[in-house]
């Protein structure tokens, strides 16, 4: 007989904490009842089942033989692809699957310790293929606590999915017993800023949702829902087009919610760069925890506020074990799980890569953004070249042509089986003239060692525009830049932050401002984005109630940004190049 099941309800927050400590298996099972309203989405831990006695040995032998034949045939068919992918999975700490069935959607992937990258999913090819194009030096195993936390969150996301979001939201003020399923929701509202800001704020919203056990849902009216894959199997994070978004305007903001001390069913968070002091109180422990009974939270932001969230004691206690030892790459791990291009965008990325960026010994990414200057700037172009040449990212030019070397170039490359190009440059800029001038220089001028340089640019829009096609091109460029071996980005550019974070690349930060400068660029201290406009609420004064461990963690991992005065950046231990962040409570 089957042993009776021992059922113990867990909150999602408790499961995250247990996963981070490694004391809880990520396996969960959904409990079904005869109705759809009785605790439909609870998470449970089950005791082990006893095995039933084996029956029908002959049938088992026959099935085993058939499976063996199927396994042998399928293994031969996918041998080449297996070898390529297995080497990547090994770098990620993922066990190679024994067979590949590209027609199967791995709906149970999140019940395992491995990330979705190990799953061949035709609905999101970039999930597994993204690692095939990355420099192995830039691939780091995803931390085990994060894998387990991600698995737990994905299960919660699936359990809290709903067939009619509009009806559920419109009935939010009814008796709590009508929706007593333990589920809470965070709606991400996309703003009008550039794609870099949108992706950074979305990542911040996700960490908030993960820490508080909220199902993250996307505004379907804008671009981001079309650009990204669904990150969680068997549930969608995209709200339907008919969702009553206007009703969100009736949700109180954080200030009135706190002032009136009401039991609101929804609250709207406005976390823009010019955040009001009342909204800054979100980063206070008492205000942060006061939202735990609010079923719906709307998140509007254009900033990367993970640094601020990590100042909240309960948020830090919940999340820092998930990233222990990997503080300098929090965004990298989250972006590679969350910010995956949908198949139509991924197809463009692959065509651009194989057509223009493959077949070189090294890839250099250059991202140029000049604020307040929409036209080509010759001085800025000179500073870009100065940075790239000074740091040996590009070969220096020679005074005269080496005809002897040119005469044997073909034979040398063919005999040595060398790539046609020594360096391929992926240059992203609104102004196409930067790429064209660089291309002309390396086509017309000799280089030392007769190095061959190829230059490619995806788009030259002239100015930042709105619309899906423009956002898609920007996303393509971000991903292609992230596949570089070395990267140079413009200071303060959120576009560049996405590329460096996805690629786990310490960028050379270009200073293209007019005037005298000691150096045209500086090597970045971290691959983490910079929080441009961090805010310190009043609760974080000299009497802030933070633990000794929390304070020491802040001293170690908070640094002022190198590219934005007053900005905050998370850095690995001992990596800070800028000044430490000054807090009264430290």
Taking the C-alpha atoms of residue 574 and residue 584, their distance in angstroms, rounded to an integer, is: 22
Counting as low any pLDDT under 50, the low residues of the chain are: 1-12, 19-20, 22-55, 70, 73-118
* Number of residues that make up the chain: 586
Reduced 3-state DSSP string for 379-390? HHHHHHHHHHHH
Kindly report, residue by residue over 409-454, the tens digit of the pLDDT: 888 888 878 788 999 999 999 999 999 999 999 999 999 988 999 9
SS3 (DSSP) at 2? coil
Alpha helices in 213-274 (DSSP H): 224-227, 254-260
Residues contacting 355, CB < 8 A, separation 6+? none
Instruction: Please report which helix (H) or strand (E) contains residue 366, including its range.
Output: strand 360-368
> Among all chains, which residue has been given the structure tokens 């360096």?
423
* Dist. CA 128–CA 142, nearest whole Å: 14
Phi, psi of 13, deg, nearest 5: -60, -40
Both tokens assigned to 220:
């379907």
Report residue 359 CA to chain centroid gap: 28
Report pLDDT for 434: 95
- Adjacent-strand bridge partners of 508: 488, 523
- CA 551 from chain centre, in angstroms, equals 27
* Residues 310-331 pLDDT 10s: 999 999 999 999 998 899 999 9
CA–CA distance, 489 with 495 (Å, rounded to integer) = 9
State the pTM of this model: 0.81
- Tell me the sheet residues that pair with 215: 185
Q: Kindly give the residue spans of alpha helices, DSSP state H, lying in 483-560.
A: 494-503, 548-557
Closest CA to 94 of 107, 112, 108, 73: 112
Q: State in Å, rounded, how far the first CA of the chain is from the last one.
A: 60
CA dihedral 197, 198, 199, 200 (to 10 degrees): 50
Cβ neighbours for 185, distance < 8 A, ≥ 6 positions apart: 160, 214, 215, 217, 295, 296, 297
Phi, psi of 507 (to 5 degrees): -85, 155
Q: Rounded to whole angstroms, how far apart are CA atoms 457 and 355?
A: 12
Cβ neighbours of residue 246 under 8 Å, at least 6 residues apart?
none
Strands 296-301 and 185-189, how do they pair?
Answer: parallel
Buried b (16+ CB within 10 A) or exposed e, 372-395: eeeebbeebbebbbebbeeeebbb
Q: How far apart are CA 332 and CA 320, in angstroms?
A: 15
């Amino acid at each position: 007989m089957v042993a009776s099941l021992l059922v113990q309800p867990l909150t999602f927050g408790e499961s995250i904490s247990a996963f981070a400590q490694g004391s809880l298996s990520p396996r969960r099972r959904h409990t079904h009842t005869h109705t759809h309203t009785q605790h439909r989405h609870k998470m449970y831990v089950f005791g082990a089942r006893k095995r039933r006695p084996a029956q029908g040995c002959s049938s088992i032998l026959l099935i085993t033989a058939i499976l063996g034949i199927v396994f042998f045939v399928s293994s031969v068919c996918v041998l080449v692809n297996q070898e390529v992918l297995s080497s990547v999975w090994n770098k990620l700490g993922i066990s190679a699957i024994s067979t590949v069935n590209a027609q199967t959607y791995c709906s149970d992937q999140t019940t395992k310790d491995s990330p979705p990258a190990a799953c061949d999913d035709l609905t999101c090819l970039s999930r597994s293929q993204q690692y095939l194009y990355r420099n192995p030096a830039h691939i780091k195993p995803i931390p085990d606590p994060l894998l387990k936390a991600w698995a737990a969150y994905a299960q919660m996301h699936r359990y809290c999915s709903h067939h009619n979001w509009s009806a559920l939201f419109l009935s939010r003020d009814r008796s709590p017993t009508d929706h007593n399923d333990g589920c809470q929701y965070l709606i991400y509202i996309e703003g009008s800023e550039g794609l870099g800001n949108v992706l950074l704020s979305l990542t911040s919203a996700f960490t908030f949702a993960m820490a508080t056990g909220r199902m993250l849902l996307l505004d379907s009216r804008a671009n981001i829902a079309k650009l990204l894959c669904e990150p969680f199997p068997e549930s969608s994070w995209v709200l339907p087009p008919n969702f009553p978004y206007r009703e969100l305007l009736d949700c109180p903001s954080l200030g009135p919610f706190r002032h009136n001390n009401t039991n609101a069913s929804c609250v709207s968070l406005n976390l823009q760069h010019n955040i009001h002091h009342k909204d800054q109180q979100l980063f206070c422990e008492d205000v942060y925890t006061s939202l735990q009974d609010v079923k719906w939270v709307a998140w509007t932001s254009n900033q990367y506020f993970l640094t601020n969230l990590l100042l909240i004691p309960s948020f830090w206690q919940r999340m820092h074990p998930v990233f222990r030892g990997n503080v300098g790459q929090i965004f990298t791990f989250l972006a590679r799980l969350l910010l995956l291009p949908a198949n139509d965008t991924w197809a463009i990325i692959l065509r651009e890569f194989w057509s223009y960026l493959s077949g070189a010994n090294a890839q250099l990414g250059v991202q140029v953004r000049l604020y307040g200057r929409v036209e080509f700037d010759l001085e800025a172009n000179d500073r870009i070249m100065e940075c790239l040449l000074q740091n040996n990212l590009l070969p220096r030019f020679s005074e005269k042509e080496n005809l002897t070397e040119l005469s044997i170039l073909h034979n040398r490359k063919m005999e040595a089986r060398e790539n046609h190009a020594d360096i391929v440059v992926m240059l992203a800029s609104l102004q196409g003239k930067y790429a064209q001038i660089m291309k002309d220089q390396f086509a017309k001028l000799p280089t030392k060692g007769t190095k061959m340089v190829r230059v490619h640019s995806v788009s030259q829009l002239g100015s930042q525009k709105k619309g899906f096609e423009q956002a898609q091109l920007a996303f393509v460029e971000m991903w292609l830049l992230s596949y570089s071996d070395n990267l140079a980005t413009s200071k303060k550019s959120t576009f560049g932050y996405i590329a460096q974070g996805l690629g786990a690349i310490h960028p050379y930060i270009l200073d293209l401002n007019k005037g005298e400068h000691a150096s045209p660029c500086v090597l970045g201290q971290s691959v983490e984005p910079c929080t441009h406009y961090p805010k310190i609420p009043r609760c974080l004064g000299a009497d802030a109630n933070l633990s000794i461990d929390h304070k020491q963690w802040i001293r170690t991992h908070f640094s002022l940004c190198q590219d934005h005065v007053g900005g905050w950046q998370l850095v690995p231990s001992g990596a800070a190049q800028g000044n430490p962040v000054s807090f009264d409570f430290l």
